[in-house]
Amino acid sequence: MATRPTWQGYLRLSLVSCPVALYTGTSRTSEVHFNMLSKTTHNRIRMIPTDPESGPVDRADIVKGYEVEKGHYVVITDDEIANVRLPTTRTLDIERFVDEADIDRLYWNDPYFLVPDGDMALEAFTVIREAMETSDKVALGRLVMHQRERLMALEPRDKGILAYTIRSRREVKDPDELFDKIPDEKPNRQMVEIAAKIIDQLEGPFDPSQFTDRYEDALRELVAEKEKGHKIATVKEPKEAEVIDLMDALKRSLGQTGGDRRKPAARSKAGSAKKSAPKKAAAKKRA
């Protein structure tokens, strides 16, 4: 868990409240990052704030400005920003309980961990968490974080609470702007049935450890090879998939067993063979 919380304040359910701390639920420390270097000296480049008229500017002389129209800014000081305080600046007030299915997946954003902040908060926090668990619903509340008021979705997770930021309506684009361009045509029914059987072959449990970032792994391998002084061979561009006959491609896909690797490990070989045998026989029969 991060050593510093992203937000600290109070969680409140009606008249019951307790101090809490919010920590980010994800980390980007393992990502590969590149620095900007001088081509000749390999020294790291420093980005110096520069005024296009007067030249370099000391960071102490930089102020914030909001562009109200092209080239015209309203200067806002840090103290003035700090004076913009809502009740949600320090309080996450639970306003409503909804079914999880009522929240469109488009709106779910970043995960956070909400925990009691100090021993004095334990009793009230536990009462709120247990009450939320009995409701079997998602709690909605708002808080101010990173100079924005954000809607939060809360649900019990183990001994704590899992919190998600929920995007606002203005942040989410209307999918109809793109989806409406897709012609409303019914595909060949037999093709859909074959595709459905391919999907069934690829069925399996979700194990996040199986889905590593292979591109990032390749970048790390590239860095390691360069550090050893090895010459990096040029890799040919992968060929794009070409579908000449859709029906033929679907039928041939049924014969592939790539989905077997995704089957649950706990299933016995005998049970797996019994379940997959009819599918393979059916596939051969159709082919």
Kindly tell me the burial class for residue 170, based on how many C-beta atoms sit within 10 Å of its own C-beta (0-12, 13-18, 19 or more). Answer: exposed
Instruction: Please tell me whether residues 208 and 253 are part of one structural domain.
Output: yes
Q: What is the number of residues in the chain?
A: 287
Q: How confident is the model at residue 243 (pLDDT cuts 50, 70, 90)?
A: low
Number of domains in the chain: 2
Domain carrying residue 214: 189-261+268-286
Confidence of residue 210 (pLDDT cuts 50, 70, 90): confident
**163, 157 contact by CB (below 8 A):** no
pLDDT digits (tens, 9 = 90+) for 30-81: 788 889 999 999 999 988 999 999 999 998 999 999 999 998 999 999 888 8
Residues 150 and 211 reside in one and the same domain: no
Question: Which CATH number do you get for residue 159?
Answer: 2.40.290.10
Q: Judge if 116 and 241 occupy the same domain.
A: no
Answer whether residue 248 is part of any domain.
Answer: yes
User: Contact at 8 Å (CB) between 11 and 128?
Assistant: yes
Task: Say if 173 falls within a structural domain.
Answer: no
The verdict on 212 and 158 lying in the same domain is no
> For 98-145, what is each residue's pLDDT tens digit?
999 999 999 999 999 999 999 999 999 999 999 999 999 999 999 998
